[in-house]
Structures are given as C-alpha cells and as structure tokens.
Amino acid sequence: MGNGNIMSGIEDTALHRVITVEAYVSGKVQGVGFRACVRNIAAGLSLTGIVQNLDDGRVFFAATGDSASIDKLISSLHECPRAIVKNIDAKEVPLRNFDGFNIVRIP
C-alpha cells in the first residue's frame, strides 16, 4: 500500500513540475485568430506567457506553468478553428515569469 502512494507522488511531482516552453508554430496560423485561440487555451489551463506573429509567417509563443498543462496546450493547438497547424517546434527553456497570457503585437 505505501509503495503505490510513494510512486504516485513521484509521478505527480514530475508531471506538475513548473517549466517554460518556447514554441514556433508554422502553417496557416496568421490572420485566422490563432493567437487569440492560443491565449484562450493557455488562460484556461492557468498558464502565463506571450504569443506573437513573426515576420516569416510563423507564430511564436512562450508559456510557463506545470508541464502537464504545457503538454495539453501544445496538443490542443490543432483544434484552433480556421488555423492549419503544420509543425510545432517546442523546447524547454530557462524558467520565465509572465503576468497573465498576452498577445504581443509587433509595431
């Protein structure tokens, strides 16, 4: 009985480790409400971060939160209406703190 609880606690701790991920998303992801979709999904998962269009047609986002929620965000990107996600290049980076999850507009 005790061993199961210890293993469960270890797995829960690993799954809920707070991380920051940066990702570049390519496909038809600009001009289709994709950034708002990313922000809404992230906010619903209690993640913080930023999302912005890039000049090359991709969308960049950085998100901080527990690793399970980050995984859910990434897997949910294909569900954004009107967007066609072809590739997601995501990697963990040093922890960053954000105030909410915001769309960044480049002047």
Q: CA quadruple 15, 46, 100, 106: dihedral positive or negative?
A: positive
Q: What's the rounded Cα separation, in Å, for the pair 37 and 44?
A: 11
Q: Show the tokens assigned to 74.
A: 């990434």
Q: List, by residue number, the catalytic residues.
A: 35, 53
Q: What is the DSSP string of 15-52?
A: HT-EEEEEEEEEEE-SSSSHHHHHHHHHHHTT-EEEEE
Give the SS3 label for residue 88: strand
